[in-house]
Amino acid sequence: MKEHNYYVYILARERNSVFYTGVTNNLIRRVYEHKAELIKGFTQKYNVKMLVYYEHFEDIYAAISREKVIKKWKRKYKISIIEQRNPTWNDLYFEL
């Protein structure tokens, strides 16, 4: 049976700055598209390119559900989950 991979991710402009939360089936490709400004919209307008957080899922419905939950969170909760896994706010794209 084929394994499926889905990711919920958070991009930031810089530490404690503007956030973007999304879901994808190819994290490397999707973050590259944001970085290269191939996607018109929020991330391009606000220069949001730094991958600061991501979670892996094998079920697309679980990933979409998690994305919706994170999008509803207050800013302090988003900062908290980022800092638990990435306390120095490194761009995780370069570690993938």
Instruction: Specify the DSSP element, H or E, that contains 42.
Output: helix 42-45
**Average pLDDT in the 24-37 region?**
97
Return the structure tokens found at 45: 């307008």
Which pLDDT belongs to residue 1? 61
- pTM listed for this prediction: 0.94
Residue 89 reports pLDDT greater than 90: yes
Domain at 6-95, CATH class: alpha beta
**Average pLDDT in the 53-73 region?**
98
Residue 87 reports pLDDT greater than 80: yes
Cα separation of 36 and 60, whole Å? 26
Question: How do the domains of the chain map onto residue ranges?
Answer: 6-95
**Average pLDDT in the 63-85 region?**
97
Structural contact between residues 5 and 25, judged by C-beta atoms closer than 8 angstroms = yes
